[in-house]
Amino acid sequence: MKPKLINSIEEMFAIRKHLTGVIGFVPTMGFLHEGHLSLVREAKKQTDIVIVSIFVNPTQFSANEDLSEYPRNIERDIELLTDLEVDHIFFPTDEQMYPEDYKTWVDVDKITQVLCGRSRPTHFRGVTTIVTKLMNIIDPDIMFMGEKDFQQLVVLRQMAKDLNFRTKIVGCSIVREKDGLALSSRNKYLSPDGRKKALCLNKSLLLAQKLFSGNVVSSNKIISHMTDLIEDNEGIIDYIEVLEPKTLEHIPELISGCRIALAVVVENTRLIDNIKIV
């Protein structure tokens, strides 16, 4: 059956009122790929009714970012979600989500100012605000998010805990191309040559794991080897950090279970990736 397409907040409220069972929610900005679809599949497995939102949230982009060029293809997205037998697709307009007199923001302290927050200082405020709004409108039992955006997942878990959201958040593994490139809507911006260069993100993370397995534990030493590999591929490093996975604090020595996260610019496209060190 075709998913029900819902493009007004009032209609979403009205429909939600009559939904019963476990409600699963997958928030997305559309232009769906296998990464998004893996979240939908997990939601189908764990819940009775699956709602996917498609909304390119303007408040998480800063003035110099790619909001107007952000890839969109709603028809294709609907087809993909129909194939997966999603129940509802919620795609509100900018005007509904942010009317002219809009004034309220949700802001998580500290952990939004590190990593991606350093080069994108208002980004997470946009993310936490839109996810709060979507959770208020949809009132899901479980929300499914990708570990690809690891900091986002940690920030939203903190927000949900601090603000007493009843929704449980499930983090899902990163989906990659066969050659290791993490799927991302932004990969579309890469030329064939840039696409090859972009493999340096995953390769450097695998190198870190290999070094750790060979008993190298110094974060600085490992970051230095990763830096060489990325720079050899003409990647411009925004950050590489070894992190305690709950607090996002930098740790000087790797331990099993820590995360390494990085952001690298390849051909003007900023890409992110991360790995759980085992």
| Residue 214 identity (one-letter amino acid) | G
Q: Is 142 in the site for ligand AMP (CB under 6 A)?
A: no
- Which region among 28-36, 68-76, 115-123, 235-243 touches ligand AMP (by CB under 6 A)? 28-36
DSSP secondary structure string for all residues of 216-248: --BHHHHHHHHHHHHHHTT-EEEEEEEE-TTT-
The SS3 assignment for 260 reads: strand
Nearer to ligand AMP, 128 or 219 (CB): 128
Q: Which of 87, 139, 149, 241 binds ligand AMP (CB under 6 A)?
A: 149
Q: In sequence order, what E strands does the chain have?
A: 4-6, 23-28, 49-54, 88-90, 142-146, 168-172, 236-243, 259-266, 269-276
Q: Which of 3, 16, 24, 28 binds ligand AMP (CB under 6 A)?
A: 28
Q: Is 146 in the site for ligand AMP (CB under 6 A)?
A: yes
Going by their DSSP bridges, the two strands 269-276 and 168-172 should be labelled as unpaired
Minimum Å distance from CB 101 to ligand AMP?
Answer: 26
- Which region among 84-92, 162-170, 171-179, 199-207 touches ligand AMP (by CB under 6 A)? 171-179
Nearer to ligand AMP, 35 or 117 (CB): 35
Other CB atoms within a 10 A radius of the CB of residue 73 amount to 13
Q: Which of 6, 12, 37, 39 binds ligand AMP (CB under 6 A)?
A: 39
Instruction: Map tokens 């070894």 to a residue.
Output: 242
Minimum Å distance from CB 151 to ligand AMP?
Answer: 10
Instruction: State the catalytic residues.
Output: 36
What is the CA angle 212-214-217, rounded to 5? 40
Q: Which of 16, 36, 133, 157 binds ligand AMP (CB under 6 A)?
A: 36
Do you know the residue count of the chain? 278
Q: Which residues bind ligand AMP (CB under 6 A)?
A: 28-29, 35-36, 38-39, 145-146, 148-149, 172, 174-175, 182-185
